Structure 1
Amino acid sequence: MEDLKTAAAPGNGGRLAGKSCVVTGAANGIGRAVAELFAREGASVVATDLDGDGLRRLAEQLPQAVSTVVGDVSRDEDARRMIAAAVERHGRLDVLVANAGVIPLMEITEAGAEDWDHVMAVDGRGMFLTCKYAIEAMAGPGGAIVCVSSISGVAGQRGQAVYGPAKFVASGLAKHLAVEWADRGIRVNAVAPGTITTERVARLRDEPGGPEYLAAIEQLHPMRRLGSPGEVAAAVLFLASDEASFITGAVLPVDGGYLAQ
């Protein structure tokens, strides 16, 4: 495993000025957008992912604000090491964004036990482990956790018999931990994105049947478009910041109205 890559501390301005933050699944997509936005808002970010090349590109882009840890959130020792990196580098942990996940789309008759185990390991166990070690690190000074769930973690959808239940873990974990740790100064919330134009979704436009699929998905969102990673990152920033100081246990849709139907 590649160990911590260090970088200098960021400047003092911004809504997360001086905050020590961990963002999992930060090499691409929503996680990368969150790490970039947090860095611009003054945070010291430990970005984690299995994709070491993606993390290196992120750290090169933001060398004054971002450190990296390559690891697997579903492995106990890796999840512990991700949180420990922030504490060792910055003296504490203020914010965790539990974002790492995999997104297989299949009906239950197409899925096997190995598919279920893999998704639950990353999206379920990985979120549990990173939240567990983050709370242990925050137990004295308090802090904020934002779990990245999905519209599939709030409402049922076709073709998501494996992925959807794993995202219900994210939504449920946020609510239970919020109640359990509120009196000790730890806020736990979740965001529930709709379909977002991550790198994988963007590639669908060049694949057979992809444009038609995306057009159909867009029509399911009342705003008649897909969201961007930056729009999700903005919601995560709000929940992580002191502006949301009286908000805990919330699951905030970032879905163009999908869940309002």
Structure 2
Amino acid sequence: MTIPLVDLTGKSCLVTGAASGIGRATATLLARLGARVLATDVNAAGLAALHRELAQTGLSTATADVTDPEDVRRAVATAVQRHGRLDVAVANAGVLPLSDVLETTPEDWDHVMAVDGKGMFLTCKYAIEAMRRTGGGAIVCVSSISGLAGQARQAAYGPAKFVASGLTVHLAVEWAAQGIRVNAVAPGTITTERVRALADEPGGPEYLTEMAAAHPLGRLGAPEEVARAIAFLASDAASFITGAVLPVDGGYLAR
């Protein structure tokens, strides 16, 4: 059997946090690989811009807040309604504060855990509900190197990404028999809009310089490089891969 690398033709895909960064790059790539993509985000203007760029591919959008169970349930239901089923869910939505434990307030902790932790749980939960009705599917969670190893000034973000990594391996075991694969990518520092904005924040320029030097390839990554890994894990080319947390980190974790 020959499986093209990477073919997503006709696959029904949901991508959260798709208005910018890794999510936008992923929604763009999946659509260009033939998938029928529903892109969601809280940023309606960003979604509108994405739709204008990719309307010819059939990509559609829906505003949704991943911290709200009804919003996530509605997004999954919309994908099923528009495309007949859900084959792929990319749980990407997240926030990235840069603070140590003394600077991080309880409110900061709650917000990061709500988006990066609870939001990923809800996306997986309702995606699995849909996928089990149609014989399976693939979920890709966006974790981080901070979800596999400790980093300074990641007091809330890092633990939230450990949730992403942990959720991935547990759900992979739990749902393998139902034909549902669950994997994750663990990006290094990626030049998303949020990361580029760090250059204007206290301590940000120093952090970016340090992080570039910490990646053995000697640079930060691009969103499109992470999107390619996500597309592979979402595709049938990865049919015997589940429970993996794949570093896309320029060698950071190999040091």
TM-score category, normalised to shorter length: over 0.9
Aligned partner of 1:218 in structure 2 is 212
Alignment match, 2:188? 194
* TM-score in terms of structure 1 length: 0.92
For residue 66 of structure 1, report the CA deviation from its aligned partner.
1.1
User: Any residues of structure 2 matched to 1:118-133 within 5 Å, and which?
Assistant: 118-133=111-126
Shift of 1:211: 4.3
Unaligned runs of 5+ in 1: 1-13
SS at match of 2:233: helix
Return the offset for 1:210: 4.8
Structure-to-structure mapping, 1:83-162, within 5 angstroms: 83-140=76-133, 141-162=135-156
- Which residue identity lines up with residue 73 of structure 1 in the other structure? V
Counterpart position of 2:29: 37
Q: Identify if the C-alpha distance between structure 1 residues 56 and 138 changes in structure 2 by more than 3 Å, giving closer, same or farther.
A: same
Structure 2 Cα separation of the partners of residues 50 and 35 of structure 1: 15
Corresponding residue for residue 10 of structure 1:
none
Aligned residue in 2 for 1:22: 14
User: Aligned partners of 2:241, 2:65: CA distance in 1, in Å?
Assistant: 30
C-alpha distance in 1, partners of 2:39/2:226? Answer: 17
TM-aligned CA deviation for residue 200 of structure 1: 2.3
Please give the alpha-carbon distance, in whole angstroms, between the structure 2 residues aligned to 1:184 and 1:209.
47
Distance of 1:114 and 1:207 partners within structure 2: 20
Code of the aligned partner of 2:44: G
| Distance apart, 1:113 and its partner CA | 1.4
The Cα offsets for residues 163-205 of structure 1, whole Å up to 9 and x where unpaired, read as: 1000001000000000000011000000000000112223445
Distance 1:233 1:250, change over 3 A: same
Letter in 1 for 2:77: A
Deviation per CA, 1:88-129, whole angstroms, max 9, x where unpaired?
101100000000011111111111211111111111111111
- 2:239 corresponds, among 242, 245, 252, to 245
Q: SS of the counterpart of 2:77?
A: helix
Moved more, 30-39 or 111-120: 111-120
Secondary structure at the aligned position of 1:227 is classed as: coil
Task: Kindly tell me the number of residue pairs found equivalent between the two proteins.
Answer: 248
TM-score (ref. length: structure 2): 0.94
Whether contact under 8 Å (2:147, 2:186) holds in the other structure is yes
Once the two structures are TM-superposed, the CA of residue 206 in structure 1 deviates from its matched residue by 6.0
C-alpha contact (below 8 Å) 2:41/2:64 kept by paired residues: yes
Provide the secondary structure at the position in 1 that maps to 2:55. coil
Aligned: 1:76 with 2:69? yes
CA distance in 1 between counterparts of 2:249 and 2:104 reads 27
Q: Percent identity?
A: 71
Q: Structure 2 vs 1, CA of residues 208 and 122 (structure 1 numbering), >3 Å: closer, same or farther? A: closer
Q: Does 1:49 align with 2:49?
A: no
Equivalent residue of 2:209, what SS? helix
Q: Distance in 1 between matches of 2:115 and 2:201?
A: 27
Amino acid of the residue matched to residue 233 of structure 2? L
| Pairing 1:256–2:247 present | no
Shift of 1:213: 3.4
Paired with 1:151 and 1:240, the residues of 2 have a C-alpha distance of: 20
Maintained 8 Å contact 2:96/2:194:
no
Aligned residue type for 2:217: M
